[in-house]
Structure 1
């Protein structure tokens, strides 16, 4: 049984803890929060034995070998780097880092700790339906493009409208639609089609300076992929990948609850499976497999790391095209 600790006590942390326990591979032992009462409440609810409010003590004294990080985006890099230095495996929520310079620094720390594994929690790439879509793309006679939409109104936007600045809508915490829901679409695009040749992002900014919504254009050699992302409005449009007379249609390219293939005659064929009730179950199992048997699953691990690297580069290039810079960032040094 793998023992893990957590940083962050929000809803997504609870979802991962539930998935980890359901997988039968993980045991939650340790909780970190800046506030002792918050840490204790989460620990009591999930039967964890330890709580900490100091990160150094959490890493040096905690009884765990893997940490799950679900703090604000801007804190992911420093906390992941610290965890690796303490010899802990790391599962960090997307986006793992905000630019290529940070990615390269984590690679350097990992090189000094070769037994440590670092995972970006991009859950949908571990799910069956993500792989079914990729398989069906390979069967298309041609690909002529795709339109992927993930727009979901955030309850935190109400706070923005009320004059506040929650983390996910703050440049201080690397917030915005692209860095949140857009990560799912970036993983879809890169995972299914590879890296584009040219990119451009056209954001609609909120009063806090982050992108509340936006449209990304990814140009490949023979087709274009359009990404529609937003946290300030809802969209109920399906997404699709266009062949010639056929297409792959998804109810939602991030959640992939239903995936169909529309053949040349317009007939719909279900090519997906019913998703797990907890969408983080597949990744919890995959991460455990790599940690428990690193030699057997090394190829998978390296493929996920390369995909994460490419997605990070794509997101950064999209931000660069729109002149979106986070607080404290020096984009001139990034490539």
Structure 2
């Protein structure tokens, strides 16, 4: 198995480590946290032994492990990934991998120069259910006529924001907001299924903190539009849809996809058989490890291309809405 270090001790790093255990792809050997107590508690909760703990990031990346998984606040991804690459580590970084396309370009170039991998962890595009969507879209591509994708979920941190606190996900300092969280899933859907859009526009509901609580995004393609609805300040239970003229593919959710239906012109709705892993990060763990073990540059280049387009679309959308991050001023 590939030796793994992680940055962060939150629920998503725990889920990723469990996925690597289930798939026998990576072996946790090093943990970085700002406090030793949190790191040790994290390791104990996972029932891990012989795991090294670091509270200094520079010394952490000099340790002897192969790959790092980074799941810190968005604005920290760039500096942490850059330091990891400079120390010869392969990088798996949570989406979005950077706050700006300039940051992404720097990491892309540096990883190539150092001969290491950098993966953006958009886990849902690796799941079997998403692969089934790709098959359906490819089969009916001649009739493809657009899509409506929705991912709105009331944030567990929004109440704290309303109480006057300053959660990371609702600040420009940490590159927060609906677009750079839930919106990344929907943009990945569009880019992987339909390619790079020609024009991008985003109408955002901007909170007092300067980030978007929700918004509507339009991606224009030569023959159709993709309309996207994202939000972290309200819940939506609306299905997402991909249109093929008279027929429609229904997704229960554009980000956390669990069920597919096909609706025809006569309003007949039939289930599209597929499968779903209990841990949604299993598939990406297996794919990242496979690419590294087999040195599959074709698959890697495809994922890198998707990430490059998604990060550019994110910045174009944010710019069109007048959203400014502190990271913009640093580049």
More displaced 10-residue stretch of structure 1: 4-13 or 132-141: 132-141
Q: Which runs of 5+ in 2 are unaligned?
A: none
Q: Which range is displaced more, 44-53 or 311-320?
A: 44-53
Q: 1:67 aligns to what SS in structure 2? A: strand
Q: Partners of 1:8 and 1:24 in 2: how far apart?
A: 21
1:69 maps to 70
For residue 144 of structure 1, report the CA deviation from its aligned partner.
1.9
After superposition, the C-alpha distances for 1:200-255 in whole angstroms (9 at most, x for unaligned) are: 10111122111010000111111111100000000001010111110110001111
Q: Counterpart of 2:298?
A: 299
CA distance in 2, matches of 1:243, 1:108: 39
Count of residue pairs brought into register by the alignment: 328
CA distance in 1, matches of 2:327, 2:277: 39
> Given that residues 43 and 50 in structure 1 are in contact (C-alpha distance below 8 angstroms), is that contact kept between their aligned partners in structure 2?
no
Per-residue CA shift, 1:4-40, capped at 9, x if unaligned? Answer: 0100111111111111110012111111001111111
**Is it true that 1:122 corresponds to 2:122 in the alignment?**
yes
Aligned partners of 2:15, 2:309: CA distance in 1, in Å?
26
Deviates more, 1:209-218 or 1:44-53: 44-53
- 2:53 corresponds to 1:51: yes
- Cα offset, 1:71, TM superposition: 0.3
1:185 and 2:186 correspond: yes
Preserved CA contact (<8 Å) 2:20 2:282:
yes
CA distance, structure 2, for counterparts of residue 50 and residue 27 of structure 1: 12
Q: Which residue of 1 aligns with 2:238?
A: 237
Rounded to whole Å, the distance in 2 between the matches of 1:272 and 1:130 is 12
Matched, 1:256 2:257: yes
**Offset of residue 272 of structure 1:** 4.1
Q: Aligned pair in 2 of structure 1 residues 96, 272: CA closer, same or farther (>3 Å)? A: farther
Q: Give me the whole-angstrom Cα distance separating, in 2, the residues matched to 1:129 and 1:191.
A: 14
TM-score (norm 1): 0.95
In the aligned structure 1, how far is the partner of 2:257 from the partner of 2:67? 28
Give, in angstroms, the shift of residue 75 of structure 1.
Answer: 0.4
Following the alignment from structure 2 to structure 1, what is the Cα–Cα distance between the partners of residues 58 and 95?
23
* Partner deviation per Cα, 1:24-81 (whole Å, 9 max, x = no partner): 12111111001111111112222152100001111112x3211000000000011111
Contact 1:187 1:311 in 2 (8 A): yes
Distance of 1:147 and 1:112 partners within structure 2: 39
Aligned residue in 2 for 1:132: 132
Once residues 112 and 221 of structure 1 are traced to their aligned partners in structure 2, the CA distance between those partners, rounded to angstroms, is: 36
Quick check: 23-32 or 41-50, which moved more?
A: 41-50
Structure 1 residue 147 displacement after superposition: 0.6
Task: Determine the structure 2 residue equivalent to 1:212.
Answer: 213
Give the alignment of 1:144-163 within 5 angstroms. 144-163=145-164
In 1, the alpha carbon distance for the partners of 2:148 and 2:327 equals 33
TM-aligned CA distance change 1:328 to 1:310, over 3 Å? closer
The question of 1:16 aligning with 2:13 is answered no
Q: Is the 8 A contact 1:43 1:51 kept in 2?
A: no
- Give the Cα separation in 1 of the matches to 2:59 and 2:207: 38
How far did 1:278 drift?
A: 0.5
Using the alignment, how far apart are the partners of 1:87 and 1:177 within structure 2?
33
Mapped partners of 1:274, 1:27: distance in 2: 26
